[in-house]
Amino acid sequence: MRFDLLAGAGAAPLAPAMRAPAVLVFDSGLGGLTVLAEVRRARPDARVVYAADDAAFPYGDLSEPALVARVVAVMERLIALHAPDLVVVACNTATTLVLPALRARFAIPFVGTVPAIKPAAAATRSGLISVLATPGTVRRDYTRELIDAYAGAYAVTLVGATRLAAFAEAELAGTPVGDDLLREEIAPCFVGAGESRTDVVVLGCTHYPLLLRRFERLVPWPVTWIDPAPAIARRMAQLLGPAPHPAPPEDAAPVAAVFTGGERITPSLRDALAARGMGSIAVEAMPLARQ
């Protein structure tokens, strides 16, 4: 079944409101911070809550039924606590597996995340595109459907990185891994065919842009990196409508951060979150029931 991952069937802009909207940005961990930054630029007036379901990180370790049940249950609690006007699901895995269940359960709009295959196809000149994602995203039919729909005329290499999401979490926690480990994870993205070589890499996990500066330093040749975060924020802004009293991005309201586990919140991570506008950090304990 096909469904609109970014908008939702029949989604329309919300009715204009004079108050600042409340937006919940949700991810399994810290990858959604890349989306959060764009959300705050798009609607600096919004009251934003960033929710990290770190008790269940990484989502790729869960079976599909367990993941659906987990995200719906966590979302029940978060929506009851924070009453958002709109939810951004800043996670490819949760988007493709859980979004239909979330939209069936809740009346508020959900904006999801998918690998940016269409803009990658528009950007390539060599015809060689790589999609750097989690193994789960690489395996799923929706990824291949996107390739067939938008990049069928090109050579697309799917790279399932097993450790990059954890490496990004470690980077923010103040325990970065060495260059050799990062280079090993991204090396399969760089493909040569005759005189052509990969010129576009899609970042198919929201964690990966957290490592982008290091990627750029380690690559064998320059490429265009495609990050879906700006498009996600634009779609959110379309649904919310324009701010009644626009504010400059530097005046964006502080973000409240909520973690479901909290074991990885180190002093270095607190500093990194504060630098990204986190005005408060709380733990709303939601332990994962392992099955």
Asked if residue 3 has pLDDT above 60, the reply is no
Is the overall model pTM greater than 0.85, yes or no? yes
Q: Is 91 a catalytic residue?
A: yes
Give the pLDDT confidence of 26-84 residue by residue, as tens digits. 999 999 999 999 999 999 999 999 999 999 999 888 899 999 999 999 999 999 999 99
Give the pLDDT confidence of 73-108 residue by residue, as tens digits. 999 999 999 999 999 999 988 998 899 999 999 999
Residue 86 three-state SS: strand
Pick the catalytic residue from 151, 205, 223, 226.
205
Asked if residue 252 has pLDDT above 90, the reply is no
Interatomic CA distance for residues 28 and 89, integer angstroms: 10
Q: Are strands 192-193 and 196-197 parallel, antiparallel or unpaired?
A: antiparallel
Q: What is the pLDDT of residue 141?
A: 87
Q: What is the pLDDT of residue 290?
A: 58
- For residue 56 the two structure tokens come to 């269940």
Tell me the pLDDT band of 8, cut-offs 50, 70 and 90. Answer: very low
Pick the catalytic residue from 75, 91, 258, 272.
91
Quick one: which of 95, 125, 111, 137 has its CA closest to 13? 111
- For residue 33 the two structure tokens come to 């911070």
Residue 55 three-state SS: helix
Tell me the pLDDT band of 249, cut-offs 50, 70 and 90. Answer: low
Give the pLDDT confidence of 225-246 residue by residue, as tens digits. 999 999 999 999 999 988 776 6
Q: Is 189 a catalytic residue?
A: no
Other beta carbons within 10 angstroms of residue 61's beta carbon come to 12
